[in-house]
Chain A
Amino acid sequence: MMAVNAVFESWNNQRAIIYRKDYSIPDNWGTAVNVQTMVFGNMGDTSGTGVAFTRNPATGEKKFYGEFLMNAQGEDVVAGIRTPQSIEKLKERMPEVYESLVEIYQKLENHYKDMQDIEFTIQDRKLYMLQTRTGKRTAAAAVRIAVEMVKEGLVDKKTAILRVEPEQLDQLLHPIVDPKAKVGVIARGLPASPGAGVGKVVFTVESAQEMSSKGERVILVRQETSPEDIGGMNVAQGILTVRGGMTSHAAVVARGMGKCCVTGCKDVNIDEGKRLFKVNDNIIKEGDWITLDGSTGNIMLGRVKLIQPELSGNFAQLMKWADEIRKLRVRANADTSHDAQVARDFGAEGIGLCRTEHMFFEGKRIDAVREMILSDTEKERRKALAKILPMQKGDFKEIFKVMDGYPVTIRLLDPPLHEFLPHTEEEIEALAKEMNVSVEKLKAKSNSLKEFNPMLGHRGCRLGITYPEIYEMQVQAVFEAACELAKKGKKIEPEIMIPLVGHVNELKYTKDRLIKVADEVMEKMGVNIKYMVGTMIELPRAAITADKIAAEAEFFSFGTNDLTQTTFGLSRDDAGNFLPFYIENKILPKDPFVAIDQDGVGELIKMGVEKGRAARAGLKVGICGEHGGEPSSVEFCHKIGLDYVSCSPFRVPIARLAAAHAVLKEGRADTISTTA
Chain B
Amino acid sequence: MKKKYVYFFGPGGAEGRTDMKALLGGKGANIAEMTNLGIPVPPGFTISTEACNEYFKNNKKYPDGLWDEVEKNLAGLEDMMGKKFGSNSQPLLVSVRSGARASMPGMMDTVLNLGLNKNTLKGIIEMTGNERFAYDAYRRFITMFSGVVLGIKKKKKKTENGSEVRQGRIFLRSQRNS
Binding site for B on A (CB under 8 A): 1-13, 15-16, 18-23, 25, 28-40, 42-44, 73-75, 78-81, 104, 107-108, 111-112, 126-133, 136, 188, 190, 264, 266, 297, 580, 583-584
Whether the Cβ atoms of A78 and B34 lie closer than 8 Å is no
Given contacts A30-B56, A37-B42, contact A25 B81 (CB under 8 A): no
* Contact A43:B130 (CB < 8 A) given known A6-B111, A34-B46, A38-B113: yes
Q: Is the CB of A33 within 8 A of B101?
A: no
The A contact surface, by secondary structure, is mixed
Residue contact B102 to A23, C-beta cutoff 8 Å: yes
Residues in chain A near residue B26, CB distance under 8 A:
133
* Residue from the list A10, A12, A32, A75 in contact with B24, Cβ < 8 A: A32
Judge whether B1 is part of the interface by a CB distance below 8 angstroms. no
Query: Contact between B95 and A11 (Cβ–Cβ < 8 Å)?
Result: no
Closest residue of chain B to A6 (Cβ to Cβ) is B149
Which residue from chain A places its CB closest to the CB of B66 in the assembled complex?
A4
Q: A11-B52, A38-B94 are in contact. List 10 more A-B contacts (CB 8 A).
A: A6-B148, A33-B98, A35-B44, A35-B45, A36-B31, A36-B97, A44-B133, A78-B106, A78-B162, A133-B30
Beta-carbon contact of B161 and A80 below 8 Å: yes
Contact of A33 among B46, B60, B130, B171 (CB under 8 A): B46
Bound Cα distance A468, B54 (Å): 68
Interface set, chain B 159-178, CB cutoff 8 A to A: 159-162, 166, 169-173, 175-178
The reply to whether B98 and A10 form a contact with Cβ atoms under 8 Å apart is yes
B43 an interface residue at 8 Å Cβ cutoff?
A: yes
From A22, A29, A37, A44, B94 is in contact (CB under 8 Å) with A37
Is the CB–CB distance between B77 and A37 below 8 Å?
A: yes
Does B108 contact A31, Cβ atoms closer than 8 Å?
Answer: yes
Provide the residues of chain A in CB contact with B161, threshold 8 Å.
Answer: 78-80
Question: Which chain B residues in 68-121 approach chain A with CB under 8 Å?
Answer: 70, 73-74, 77, 81, 92-104, 106-115
Are A132 and B133 CB-contacts (below 8 A) given A20-B104, A33-B47?
A: no
Q: Which residues of B contact A20 (CB under 8 A)?
A: 104
Question: What separation, in Å, do the CA atoms of A4 and B149 have in the docked complex?
Answer: 9
**Interchain CB contact (< 8 A) of A15 among B56, B107, B171:** B107
A583 to B73, CA, bound (A): 44
Given the known A-B contacts A18-B173, A104-B39, A127-B40, are A7 and B136 also in contact in the complex, defined by CB atoms under 8 Å? no
| Interface contact B98-A7, CB-CB below 8 Å | yes
**Nearest Cβ in chain B — how far from A271, in angstroms?**
23
Bound state CA distance, A32 and B27, in angstroms?
9
Which of chain B's residues have a CB closer than 8 A to the CB of A75? 110, 112, 140
Q: Assess the B176–A583 pair: CB atoms within 8 A.
A: yes
Is A584 within 8 A of B177, CB to CB?
A: yes
Residues from chain A with a CB closer than 8 A to the CB of B33 are 111, 132
Q: What separation, in Å, do the CA atoms of A563 and B29 have in the docked complex?
A: 45
Q: Can you give 26 A-B contacts (C-beta < 8 A)?
A: A4-B96, A6-B111, A10-B148, A12-B56, A18-B173, A20-B104, A25-B101, A28-B53, A29-B100, A31-B49, A31-B52, A31-B98, A32-B24, A32-B28, A32-B100, A34-B96, A35-B45, A35-B70, A35-B74, A75-B112, A78-B161, A111-B33, A128-B41, A131-B30, A133-B30, A266-B178
- Find out whether the CB atom of A8 lies under 8 angstroms from the CB atom of B55: yes
Q: Is the CB of B109 within 8 A of A10?
A: yes
Residue of A33, A130, A264 contacting most chain B CB atoms (<10 Å): A33
- Tell whether, in the assembled complex, residue A264 and residue B178 are in contact, meaning their CB atoms are under 8 Å apart: yes
Task: Give Cα distance in the complex from A197 to B24, angstroms.
Answer: 45
On whether the beta carbons of B102 and A43 are closer than 8 Å, the reply is: no
| Chain A residues with CB below 8 A from B47, complex form | 4, 32-35
**Is A31 touching B177 in the complex (CB atoms < 8 A)?**
no
Of A3, A7, A37, which one neighbours B44 at CB under 8 angstroms? A37
Q: Cα distance A19–B162 when bound, in Å?
A: 12
Given A38-B42, A129-B34, A133-B30: A4 and B100 within 8 A (CB)? no
Option from B18, B49, B81, B166 in Cβ contact (under 8 Å) with A32: B49
A32 near B48: Cβ-Cβ < 8 Å? yes
Chain A residues within 8 Å of B24, by CB: 32
B149 adjacent to A2 (CB under 8 Å): yes
Residues of chain B within 8 A (CB-CB) of A32 are 23-25, 27-28, 46-49, 51-52, 98-100
A13:B108 contact, CB within 8 angstroms: yes
Chain A residues within an 8 Å CB radius of B18: 112
Q: Which residues of B contact A11 (CB under 8 A)?
A: 52, 56, 98, 100, 108
Question: What are the 8 tightest A-B residue pairs by CB atom distance, in nearest-first order?
Answer: A36-B44, A32-B25, A30-B52, A10-B109, A30-B49, A38-B93, A10-B108, A33-B47
Please indicate the chain A residues that have their CB under 8 angstroms from the CB of B142 in the complex. none
